[in-house]
């Protein structure tokens, strides 16, 4: 599969069961305590295929009350890159700085600089574009990119009967 441009995230459209594996405290570079939890996700195209919105429901996280997450992905045809923003009911009213990147074949890499717990950090999202079993991984670098530590992975299973939606724009009239 070769994913490029506006088609790069088409594999993700639809409804998903999501298995999460996450470090209990992603802000602590010394944390080695992993937790597992499940979620559901629905991804749909927006802006005539130049982006998508992903709503994730986490009914029973191991570290607090249920929460809802939102990813907004937008393609910039001028630069050929995607920007991905994350927001969650755990930090109401806030969009994290966008990670920016692109796909090469079926692997997407997206990076940004941020501050966590008062410390500068580089954030990396990596996607494996598979229409049946996509994988996502988040890693942090607290040493300006010399090393990366994975701290959250998500494996996706398509909900039965959830085909990828048609991304053609709806025409009024």
Tokens of 11: 């594999």
**Looking at the predicted structure, is the pLDDT value of residue 35 above 70?**
yes
Q: Mean of the per-residue pLDDT values for the chain? A: 91
pLDDT tens readout for residues 66-117: 999 999 999 999 999 999 999 999 999 999 999 999 999 899 999 999 999 8
pLDDT at 171: 39
Question: Are the CB atoms for 117 and 27 separated by under 8 Å?
Answer: yes
Q: Classify burial at 79, counting beta carbons within 10 Å of its beta carbon; exposed 0-12, middle 13-18, buried 19 or more.
A: exposed
Average pLDDT over residues 42-64: 95
Closest CA to 10 of 86, 82, 118: 82
pLDDT tens profile 138-163 = 999 999 999 999 999 999 999 987 66
Superfamily of domain 5-26+33-158: Calycin beta-barrel core domain (2.40.128.20)
Please give the span between the terminal C-alpha atoms of the chain, in angstroms, as a whole number.
36
How far is the C-alpha of 97 from the C-alpha of 116, rounded, in Å? 12
């Amino acid at each position: 599969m070769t994913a490029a441009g506006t088609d790069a995230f088409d594999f993700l459209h639809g409804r998903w069961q999501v298995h999460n594996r996450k470090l209990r405290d992603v802000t602590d570079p010394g944390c080695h305590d992993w937790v597992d939890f499940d979620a559901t996700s629905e991804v749909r195209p927006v802006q005539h295929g130049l982006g998508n919105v992903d709503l994730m429901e986490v009914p029973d996280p191991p570290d607090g009350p249920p929460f809802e997450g939102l990813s907004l992905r937008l393609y910039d045809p001028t630069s050929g890159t995607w920007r991905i923003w994350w927001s969650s009911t755990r930090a109401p009213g806030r969009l994290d700085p966008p990670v920016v990147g692109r796909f090469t074949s079926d692997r997407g890499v997206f990076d940004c600089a941020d501050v966590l717990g008062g410390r500068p950090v580089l954030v990396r999202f990596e996607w494996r574009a598979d229409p049946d079993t996509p994988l996502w991984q988040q890693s942090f670098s607290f040493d300006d990119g010399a090393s990366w530590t994975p701290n959250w992975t998500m494996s996706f299973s398509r909900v039965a009967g959830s085909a990828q939606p048609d991304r053609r724009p709806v025409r009024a009239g």
